[in-house]
Amino acid sequence: MDFKDIDMGELGRNILAKVLKATSTQGAYTDVQEECEFRGVAFTDEAFPAEKTSLMHNWEDPAEDIQEKVEEWGKFTWIRAGDVEELNDDEGELAIFADDITPSDIQ
C-alpha cells in the first residue's frame, strides 16, 4: 500500500480520538501494557477493532461524502504500527514517540 495516497491526518485524528476515549483513565496505558505482557499477547482495542466498521459504521450510506471514501478506505489493510518499517528505529523497535516533538516533525 502506498501511504502517500492516504489522508493520514484525517485517519490519524480519528484513530487518536478513539484511542484516547478508550484509554482515558489514570494509569490505563500501563495497566493494559502489563496485562498484555503478562499474557504474552498483543493489545487488541475492543472499542476500535481492526475492522472496517471502526472507520465508518455504515458503508452502504448513500451520502456522497461517505461514498467518496468507500472505495479508497475499503482497500486498507489492518496492520500493527510495528509492522510499518518507517516507524521503527535502527534496531527494529517501534519509535513513534522516541524523541521530543519538534517543528520539523510536521511535514
Q: Which amino acid is at 76?
A: F
Percent of the chain with pLDDT over 70: 76
pLDDT, one tens digit per residue, over 19-54 is 766 666 656 777 888 888 899 998 888 888 999 999
∠ Cα 19 21 23 (to 5°): 65
Find the radius of gyration of the CA atoms of the chain.
16
pTM: 0.51
List the chain domain ranges.
Answer: 3-105
Dihedral (CA of 82, 88, 94, 100) sign: negative
Q: How far apart are CA 83 and CA 21, in angstroms?
A: 24
Q: Are 43 and 22 in contact (CB under 8 A)?
A: no
